[in-house]
Amino acid sequence: MVLEQQPTLELLFEQLGLPADERSIDEFTRTHQLPSEVILPDAEFWSEGQSAFLREHWHQDDEWIVIIDKLNQLLHVESDKQSA
């Protein structure tokens, strides 16, 4: 029996073709903050393929959704602070 690896933030970054070590993830989330009105797949810094991957899994509400939601929260930290 083959066990599938559960999605993690590191695996998501790998799927997106981005550096997936903790330091790189922290830097990315710090330097790519989004305004509250921009949803994650619509961010201008994604390539077409990255955006499609995020959008597809977001709409499918599959095993990736928890991690995609986490990334969405991390990229909206500053806008959430401003609206609080």
Domains of the chain: 9-83 (1.10.10.1130)
pTM for this structure?
0.87
- Each residue's pLDDT, cut to its tens digit, for the chain (84 residues) gives 444 678 999 999 999 999 999 999 999 999 999 999 999 999 999 999 999 999 999 999 889 999 999 999 999 998 877 776
Backbone angles phi, psi at 76, to 5 degrees: -115, 15
SS percent in the chain: helix, strand, coil, step 5: 60, 0, 40
Contact 29, 19 (CB under 8 A): no
